[in-house]
Amino acid sequence: MKPVSQIWGEKVSGKQEAEAVAACNTWLSETDGEMKLWFEDLQDTLQQSLLGSPKSEAIVKVRNVLPAVVAEGALALIRSVPEEDWSVTQNSLPNGSAKHRFRGAAPADSAAVRRGLSSTGLEQSVSRLFQAFASLMAGSPFTFQLGRYTQGDFISPHNDAAQMEVSTETTGKRDTYATCSRDIAVIFYLTKSWDEADGGCFIDHATGDVYVPEFNSLIAFRVPRLHSVTPVKVRRPRYSIFGWFLRELSNGPCKKRKQKGTTEVEKFQQSDRRHSKARVQRQGRS
């Protein structure tokens, strides 16, 4: 880590960042302790809001998703991701895909995580963070990645609908794949002191509501839902963790197969053909 970091106007020492990361890792490792109880409350909120009867068509927003020091550690973790691990995903062609540009990263490969083969401490920490969010919909396949928007980055209107073949289980050296569709979208914001004028805001086209990124807050909604992200107007980055809980298809083309290998790469689609990389895991199969 850098000895002195600039976090959106706040000078934070390397020691403070290291302490925050350590506290975050400790908390995330306590899967049967405080973390479990904390996420059980959040799990109940989301499941009742999104999976109740009838199923909700509203966007759910939750503040103070993580304990304050854990959220600070999560931010420090994301900021420490090497530049070479951030991939620019963009599309400016009128080919049916949503026009977009931003940076994404998924340092921990899911199949490797299930085998305990994450190669660095950073990968292990990010993997634990992903697994914590996966507990919100325990048992559902999911795909998460880190997001970084900088000046000019955006996503045009799209509804997130997509199908993909994902690894849902690892047995020995083989992965089992299934065809899934996106079911619930989740965005966890790790952006401090952000205003609507800074851009990078989530626009819900169903209601016209604007969601300004708020540090340590989460929004979730059922897919499909038309939305967009306004162009970022400032030079400082907007960080997030985002992705989807998936639903295995019971009708139509649903195939399960086994394949050798230690990695999987999902073609990341926004609307129907967006492209970037994401990793797929299934909670409780580690």
Per-domain residue ranges of the chain: 4-282
Q: What is the CATH number of domain 4-282?
A: 2.60.120.620
What's the confidence (pLDDT) of residue 186? 96
> For residue 121, which of 139, 107, 100 has the smallest C-alpha distance?
107
Per DSSP, which regions of 92-158 are E strands? Answer: 100-105, 141-149, 154-158
- Each of the 286 residues of the chain gets a pLDDT tens digit; together they read 333 344 333 455 678 888 888 999 899 888 777 888 888 888 888 888 887 756 667 899 999 999 999 999 999 999 988 898 899 988 876 655 689 999 999 754 444 455 555 557 788 888 889 888 988 988 888 889 999 999 999 999 999 999 888 776 655 566 778 888 999 999 999 999 999 999 999 999 999 999 999 999 999 999 999 999 999 999 999 999 999 999 988 644 444 555 443 333 333 333 333 333 333 333 333 3
Q: d(Cα 30, Cα 28) in Å, to the nearest integer?
A: 5
Residue burial 252-266, b: 16+ Cβ < 10 Å; e: rest: eeeeeeeeeeeebeb
What's the confidence (pLDDT) of residue 102? 94
What's the confidence (pLDDT) of residue 151? 97
What is the pTM for the complete model shown? 0.80
Identify the three-state secondary structure at position 134.
helix
Give 140's contacts (C-beta < 8 A, 6+ positions apart).
Answer: 134, 183, 184, 245, 246, 247, 282, 283
> For residue 191, which of 107, 273, 75 has the smallest C-alpha distance?
75
- Residues 27-34: contacts with CB within 8 Å, 24+ apart? 27/67, 27/69, 27/70, 27/73, 28/70, 28/125, 28/128, 28/129, 28/131, 28/132, 29/128
